[in-house]
A and B are shown apart, each in its own frame.
Chain A
Amino acid sequence: MTRQDPVTQRDPARSTDERPPALVLEGVSVARGGRTVWSQGTFTVRAGAVVGVIGPNGAGKTTMFQVALGLLPAASGRIEVLGAAPRRGNRRIGYVPQNYTAALGEAIRCRDLVTLGLTGGRFGLRRTSPAERARVDDALRRVGAVEYAERRMSELSGGQQQRVAIAQAIVDDADLLLLDEPLANLDLRNQQEIVRLLGDLHRDRDVTIMVVAHDLNPLLPVLTDAVYLLDGHPHHGEIGEVVQEELLTHLYGTPVGVVRTAQGDLFTRAAWPDPHRGAFE
Chain B
Amino acid sequence: MTAALAAVEFQSNWFQVLQSPFLRNALIGGSLVAIAAGLLGYFVITRQNAFAAHALAHIGFPGATGALLIGAPVTLGLAVFCVGGGLLIGLFGRKVADREMATGTILALATALGVLFASLASANASTTTSVLFGNLLAVTTDQLMIFGAFTAAVVLTLAVLARPLVFASVDPAVAEARGVPVRALGLAFVVLLALTITMAVQVVGTLLLFALVVTPAATALRLTARPARVAAFAVGLALGSVWGGLVLSTMVNLPPSFFIVGLAVLAWGTVLAIAGRGSRRGAAPALVDPPHPH
**CB-contact partner of B227 in A88, A89, A112, A152, under 8 A:** A112
Q: Is A221 an interface residue (CB 8 A)?
A: no
Specify the chain A residue showing the minimal Cβ separation from B285.
Answer: A155
B95 sits at the interface (CB 8 A): no
Give the distance in Å from the alpha carbon of A103 to the alpha carbon of B47 in the complex.
Answer: 11
Residue from the list A100, A112, A119 in contact with B225, Cβ < 8 A: A112
Closest to B162 in A: A125
A121:B179 contact, CB within 8 angstroms:
yes
Across the interface, B174 reaches (CB within 8 A) one of A90, A91, A97, A144, namely A97
Distance between Cα atoms of A122 and B180 in the complex (Å): 9
**CB contact between B175 and one of A120, A152, A159 (< 8 Å): that residue:** A120
User: B226 on the interface (CB 8 Å rule)?
Assistant: yes
Cα distance, A199 to B47, chains bound together (Å): 35
Min CB–CB distance A181 → chain B (angstroms): 13
Query: Please, how many residues of chain A have a CB less than 8 angstroms from a CB on the other chain?
Result: 45
Q: Which residues of A contact B160 (CB under 8 A)?
A: 123-125
The segment from B52-60, B65-73, B163-171, B204-212 found at the interface with A is B163-171
Interface string of B141-169 (1 = CB under 8 A from A): 00000000000000000011111101100
Q: Does B294 contact A (CB under 8 A)?
A: yes
* Residues on the A chain within 8 Å of B285, using CB: 154-157
Instruction: Provide the residues of chain B in CB contact with A155, threshold 8 Å.
Output: 283, 285-286
Q: Which residues of B contact A151 (CB under 8 A)?
A: 283
What does the 1/0 interface line of A88-123 toward B look like (CB < 8 Å)? 111101011100100111111100110011011111
For residue A26, CB closer than 8 A to chain B, the reply is: no
Using C-beta atoms within 8 Å of the partner chain, give the interface range for chain B. Answer: 35 or more
Residues of chain A within 8 A (CB-CB) of B221 are: 106-107
B227 with A189: CB separation less than 8 A: no
Contact across chains for B226 and A113 when beta carbons are under 8 A apart:
no
Chain B residues, Cβ within 8 Å of A96: 174
Contacts of A120 in B (CB 8 A): 163-164, 166-167, 171, 175, 178, 180
A105 to B222, CA, bound (A): 12
In-complex Cβ contact of A112 among B177, B226, B287, B289 (8 A)? B226
Interface residue B45 (Cβ < 8 Å from any Cβ of A): yes
Known: A112-B226, A123-B160, A157-B287. A107 touches B174 (CB 8 A): no
Contacting pair B164 A123 (CB below 8 A): yes
Interface of B is mostly: helix
A160 at the interface (CB under 8 A from B): yes
- Whether B161 pairs with A123 at a CB distance below 8 angstroms is yes
Least distance between A216 CB and chain B CB atoms (Å): 22
Distance, CA A155 to CA B166, complexed state (A): 19
Indicate whether A108 sits within 8 Å of B170 (C-beta atoms), given known contacts A71-B177, A91-B178, A144-B293.
yes
Contact B289 A189 (CB under 8 A): yes
Give the contacting residue for A159; candidates B161, B167, B289, B293; CB below 8 A: B289
Would you give the shortest CB distance from A84 to chain B, in whole angstroms?
Answer: 14
A-B contact pairs, 30 of them (CB 8 A): A69-B177, A88-B177, A91-B178, A95-B173, A105-B170, A106-B225, A107-B221, A107-B227, A109-B225, A109-B226, A113-B170, A113-B171, A117-B174, A119-B163, A120-B163, A120-B164, A120-B175, A121-B163, A121-B164, A121-B175, A121-B180, A122-B164, A123-B160, A123-B161, A152-B225, A155-B286, A156-B286, A157-B285, A157-B286, A157-B288
Add 19 more A-B contacts to A105-B170, A122-B164, A157-B289 (CB < 8 A). Answer: A69-B177, A89-B178, A90-B179, A93-B177, A100-B173, A103-B172, A107-B46, A107-B230, A108-B171, A108-B227, A109-B226, A117-B178, A120-B163, A120-B164, A120-B180, A155-B285, A155-B286, A157-B287, A190-B289
